[in-house]
């Protein structure tokens, strides 16, 4: 099957048609949703790694709450 040769004016018309397409808008919205969820998952993974590091250092939730109340620097724990 041979490729069609598309002229420049046809390219612009096709771009305009696609930009106004509900299917294209739906696809963009779907991809945005998937990307937000994936980024959220990556954030949760980072938090889990930090939590594991804190637990290995012997930090408990109570210790952290005391530290926050005293307005200490949380970076000094690890």
Does a structural domain hold residue 21? yes
The pLDDT of residue 73 is 62
Instruction: Report yes or no on whether pTM surpasses 0.75.
Output: no
The pLDDT of residue 17 is 96
The pLDDT of residue 78 is 55
Does a structural domain hold residue 33? yes
Domain span at residue 27? Answer: 16-76
Does a structural domain hold residue 2? no
The pLDDT of residue 1 is 58
Spans of the chain, pLDDT less than 70: 1-2, 71-78
The pLDDT of residue 58 is 93
- Identify the burial level of 7 via C-beta atoms within 10 angstroms of its C-beta, where 0-12 means exposed, 13-18 middle and 19 or more buried: exposed
Does a structural domain hold residue 8? no
Split into its structural domains, the chain has a count of: 1
């Amino acid at each position: 099957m041979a490729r069609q040769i598309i002229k420049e004016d046809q390219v612009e018309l096709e771009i305009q048609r696609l930009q106004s397409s509900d299917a294209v808008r739906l696809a963009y919205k779907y991809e945005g949703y998937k990307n937000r969820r994936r980024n959220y998952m990556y954030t949760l993974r980072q938090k889990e790694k930090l939590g594991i590091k804190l637990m290995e250092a012997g930090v408990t939730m109570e210790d952290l709450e005391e530290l926050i109340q005293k307005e200490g620097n949380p970076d000094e724990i690890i």
